[in-house]
Structure 1
Amino acid sequence: MTNPYGQQQPYGQQQPGYGPPSGGMPAPYGQPAPYGQPAPYGAPGGMPGGGDINAIKDYKGWAIGCIFLFWIIAIFAIMKSNEVNTYKMQGNYAAAADASKSTKTLCLIATIIGGVGCLLSIVWIIFAVVLATSASTYSCYGSYC
C-alpha cells in the first residue's frame, strides 16, 4: 500500500492515528453495556425506565379527557402526547421523556382549572336559585301598588 508521500507500508499495518478508538469499542446498538460502563446514548439501556419503551407514558387519554375541562390547554396536551409517540418511534427516548413530562403538566393544569371552573359554576347556580326563591313577589290589586 502506498501512502501519499510515496513510502511503502507493510501489508496489514495501519498508519499512525487510524484504527479503533482508545478505551475500547462502544457496545453495538441493542446490546447491553458491559458491567460498570454507561450505556451509549440512544441505546435501550440508556433510556428512562431501564430499557422498557412502555415506561414512557403518553397520557393521551387524560389529554383527550381534558378537552371537556379546559380545551385550550388540552389541545396542546394532545399535541405533546403525539410527540411522545413520535420520539419513541424515532428512538429518541430522552425527548420522549421530556414530552411525556410536559404532557402530564399540561393535563394537570387543565384538570385543575377545569375543576375549579366547574366548582364555581355549581356555586353560582346554587346562589342564583337561592336568590330567585327568596325574592318576594308583590302583586298590585287595583290602585294599591
Structure 2
Amino acid sequence: MTNPYGQPQQPYGGQPQQPYGQQPYPQSGATPAQPYPQQPYGQPAPYGQPAFGGAPGGDLSSIKDYKGWAIGCIFLMWIIAIFAIMKSNEVQSYKMQGNAAMAQQASQTTKTLCLVATILGALGWVVAIIMIIISLVAASEVHSYYCTGSYC
C-alpha cells in the first residue's frame, strides 16, 4: 500500500505485513517446522511476577475466596453476607490479575465478614428460638376468665 506521496506505507505499529498464510518466526529457537519454541510441560513460563509468598513461582490458587461460606451467610445475616460475597468476587478478580497481595487482603476481609455474619446470625437465631419458647410457655399459662355455667 502506498501513501499519496508515492512512498510505501507501513501498517499501524511500523511492522511490515506478511503475505497471507506466512507467519514471522521469533528469533530464538524457531524453525519452519516449529515456528514458536515450546515450553516444557510442568514448567511455568517465567513472567517475573512475584506470587503469593513474595517469591516467583508461587501459587495464586492457594488463596481462598470463601464464596460458599459467604453465600451460606445469607440465611444468618444477609446484610453482612452481601458485602462478603462482593469481597469474595474481588478475590477472584485479583487472582485473575495476578495481584497476590490484594487477593490475600480481600480473602482475609471476606473471612472476617463471614465470621461476623455467622456469629451474629447464630446469636440472632438462638435469641429468636428462646423468645418463641418463652412466648409459648407464657401463652399456655394464660387462663380464660370467660364463665359458663356454675364453675365461675
Q: Same fold (TM over 0.5)?
A: yes
1:46 deviates by 4.1
Q: What's the TM-score once normalised by structure 2's chain length? A: 0.63
2:120 to 113, 118, 121: 113
Given the superposition, is the C-alpha separation of residues 52 and 109 from structure 1 closer, same or farther in structure 2, using an over 3 Å criterion? Answer: same
Match of 1:90 in 2: 97
Q: Displaced runs of 4+ in structure 1, greater than 6 A?
A: 142-145
Give a deviation string over 1:47-74, Cα, whole Å, max 9, x none: 49x8122210000000001111111110
Give the alignment's TM-score, normalised by structure 1. Answer: 0.66
Give the structure 1 partner of residue 66 of structure 2. Answer: 59
Any unmatched runs of 5+ in structure 1? Answer: 1-28, 33-39
For residues 38-57 of structure 1, the aligned pairs below 5 Å read 42-44=49-51, 46-47=53-54, 51-57=58-64
User: Equivalences for 1:96-135 in 2 at 5 Å?
Assistant: 96-135=103-142
Compute the RMSD of aligned alpha carbons: 2.7
Hey, what's the Cα distance between the residues in 2 that align with 1:45 and 1:113?
A: 32
CA deviations on 1:61-108 (whole Å, 9 max, x unpaired) are: 000011111111100000000000000000100000000000000000
CA distance in 2: counterparts of 1:30 and 1:93, whole angstroms? 17
Q: Counterparts of 1:133 and 1:114 in 2: how far apart (Å)?
A: 29
Task: Percent identity, please.
Answer: 59
CA contact 2:60–2:95 (8 Å) conserved in 1? yes
Q: 60, 81, 88: which is aligned to 1:81?
A: 88
Q: Which amino acid aligns with 1:77?
A: A
Q: CA deviation at 1:141?
A: 3.1
- Decide which structure has greater helix share: 1
Letter of the 1:110 partner, please give it.
Answer: A
Deviations 1:19-58 (A, max 9, x none): xxxxxxxxxx9549xxxxxxx7x3236449x812221000
Question: Which amino acid in 1 is paired with 2:132?
Answer: I
Report the AA paired with residue 122 of structure 2: G
Alignment size in residue pairs? 108
Q: Contact 2:74/2:82 (CA < 8 Å) preserved in 1?
A: yes
